[in-house]
Structure 1
């Protein structure tokens, strides 16, 4: 028997969950489907658990660096991974319980726990039940990408690493980008030996080279080893359970790195493969992402793709913005668009990186006439007072319009400070507006006007 709804939402991530509640608030009958983690990746295996671990790792750093600020801390600090994990699990469970309660209390939401797939045009099947609606919202997220050659190994992903009850003795990480760097630093601070292997000649290759070098340098200072240009990489497990990673094309010849655990952090793929999208006519690209228009609609009218699976941003904040675009356009008559979004994100190593808009490298590759500003954290009074002088801030400005094209803040508070530039760019302000502002002293932010007062050609 076919069940008819006003809307079907597949996936309960950071776009699907608020959309379900918003539609229900407007008295729309919603079929809400989730196969595994109510609340999606961010809540269960992404932002919430990792930033919980990052906070614990920061406490370890504080304990180990008190002497530099005149505080003697006995050499007895250690990471209790089971307790760190228990705190993480408790935070997640409270949030999941809150979502569950709201679903239960809503008369307009029917929840289906199971894996959904299409059976026809706007017909979705889950657990044998067939559902249909004029509007279908796909919010199935993504999963870790597992490259060939690791099938027989007990490898870890960002999800399974968070379930360990014992610290790895030596954690080998394949992938020197955002996930690999965050996990590498936190587990090094917990007490593990860490080696990060990266195919490219720099870590986080999408960033300006200065950023990549700075991050690598301060992570090396903490004892993390890096192996770059490791294109010919393979791994196997020895008889004693040791993981052996083999680099066969390094400049120094064949190299074998032995560790107790191996984390694969080489990217993510969308969870679209099992939806049987062909049965409803939805197109995907070569990587499995669902192409959308500016309003999140697929090539099939009335079917939308939100969050990681549409390839328009692999972040919680972009997924939530997808929800805002759909909800406000649908319910409030607005015309918000994906292309209005200015890309911004953070890398939550310590000190953190905040990024918005273009890098200097991207602007120069586009042939734009630009001005740039730069300020080292080591020249900022507040950073020196805190004893945290790693990193820098920089800005890219259009020389003709004086609009800010992009900014980087790598340093203490960088993940929060970047919002100053985000607000200015969304408002379309000229750089002079920030330059002429009066910021409170003593803060890291107060050096933004100083930096903007010293722009030059790159």
Structure 2
């Protein structure tokens, strides 16, 4: 097979892979962009764009049911799941078309098919429309992302198990949705479908939801979900599942009190994600993967194969669109600007789009103490924030971790209305090396949620 030579090959079109090939081509390079599925990767097709669109529908249903609390009388609220799905599909389609329009430029070839390494800096494509093609380049960037981890308990092959992609294609509301997994995917879908009108049971192996959070954050999240009417079972593991009549199913769960059976109409598995690396055969290109199949990279995102880089979820790093976008910025610096950018000491914030939102950045209280730091922990209930009272959004709290000696802010968690937005103010303060005094004495407009930061950081000297 005669191969075609490129200056650069990018495999995958998630957040980083959407921008890098365009800018490489703008820089005068001959670029091949390889994609086996819909353009845009997980974020556009099955992640951020569709899920947050559906979260918005769920929040509107929740707010409508609370109308009487605000003196607004509404009739019975029901959700047309098929219409929610169509709104979601329209958002995804628009994002796909927007991206596709940007690819029509000189020097960039979009190749649709499955990529396989056949040697150093060489890839063979199994083309979507048939046939094969071999291409090579001195620079290859892997951006193939991840997919839902399959459920392997006994009986899983005998029932219809939903994942984070297929659940968004339902057109009828589940009567009773059982969810396996207490990470952000399970929590977002759990609250979403509860607000749509389903009975929801959430089952989590660990003793606490969101295992990377401080205990008080995890406990408050669980309390909020239970307040919304969700049954939350922690320290519980699925044992087996079996079909029942009428398309229903029975899940056997091992709890601290012994085994119990839970009957439901639908089962969602949100137990994690695995990397899309098997078909890529990275070892054939000299690219090392770890024992879970994620591609190993150094602080500059270069793999064990010279000239081959990887970005985004496939590296096993933070599975967030914005971290993948930062990977793109780093590779832009390295491959186009002639600079050297590193992931070392990178602080990656994130938000969990439950309601109220959880925004988090920097060190947790537990992490700071594990490092032996002398810290002050500041905590303010949202019920003490004027804006939260006015809007009736008083669940949750603001929390900050501050170095006791220097007054530098080490981290923060905001579980409250627009928690991600308020957390970003803490992040910007950390980036600017502001102290607790700067935040306590800053003039923030009244009455905004961010005004609560004045009170929060004033607690340092309380």
Q: How would you bin the TM-score normalised by the shorter chain?
A: over 0.9
Q: Which has the higher mean CA deviation after the structures are superposed, 261-270 or 431-440?
A: 431-440
Over 3 Å counting, the alpha-carbon distance change for 1:203 and 1:392 in structure 2 is same
Q: How many Å separate the matches in 2 of 1:47 and 1:354?
A: 15
Q: How does 1:34-45 map to 2 (within 5 A)?
A: 34-45=35-46
Q: What is aligned with 2:139? A: 135
Q: How many Å separate the matches in 2 of 1:427 and 1:297?
A: 30
1:431 aligns with 2:430: no
Q: How does 1:14-93 map to 2 (within 5 A)?
A: 14-75=15-76, 77-93=77-93
Which of 337, 342, 353 is equivalent to 2:342? 337
Which deviations, in whole Å up to 9, do the C-alpha atoms of 1:14-71 show, x marking residues without a partner?
A: 0111001111111111110010121000000000000000000011011100111111
Q: What displacement does 1:232 show?
A: 5.2
Corresponding residue pairs, total: 454
Q: What displacement does 1:207 show?
A: 0.8
With structure 2 as the length reference, what TM-score do the two structures score?
0.96
Q: How does 1:42-191 map to 2 (within 5 A)?
A: 42-75=43-76, 77-103=77-103, 105-127=104-126, 128-149=132-153, 150-191=156-197
Which deviations, in whole Å up to 9, do the C-alpha atoms of 1:55-112 show, x marking residues without a partner?
A: 000110111001111111122x211111111111111111111222222x21111111
Q: What displacement does 1:456 show?
A: 7.0
Which of 265, 282, 288 is equivalent to 2:287? 282
Query: In the alignment, is the contact (CA less than 8 A) between 1:369 and 1:400 conserved in 2?
Result: yes
Q: How many Å separate the matches in 1 of 2:214 and 2:329?
A: 31
Which of 246, 249, 261 is equivalent to 1:256? 261
Q: How many Å separate the matches in 2 of 1:215 and 1:110?
A: 46
Q: Secondary structure at the match of 2:237?
A: coil
With structure 1 as the length reference, what TM-score do the two structures score?
0.97
Q: How does 1:298-309 map to 2 (within 5 A)?
A: 298-309=303-314
Query: In the alignment, is the contact (CA less than 8 A) between 1:405 and 1:425 conserved in 2?
Result: yes
Q: Which has the higher mean CA deviation after the structures are superposed, 226-235 or 40-49?
A: 226-235
Q: How many Å separate the matches in 1 of 2:134 and 2:436?
A: 55
Gaps of 5+ in 2: 127-131
Over 3 Å counting, the alpha-carbon distance change for 1:147 and 1:366 in structure 2 is farther
Q: What is aligned with 2:460? A: 455
Q: How many Å separate the matches in 2 of 1:232 and 1:244?
A: 11
Q: How many Å separate the matches in 1 of 2:221 and 2:314?
A: 29
Gaps of 5+ in 1: none
Q: How many Å separate the matches in 2 of 1:61 and 1:111?
A: 43
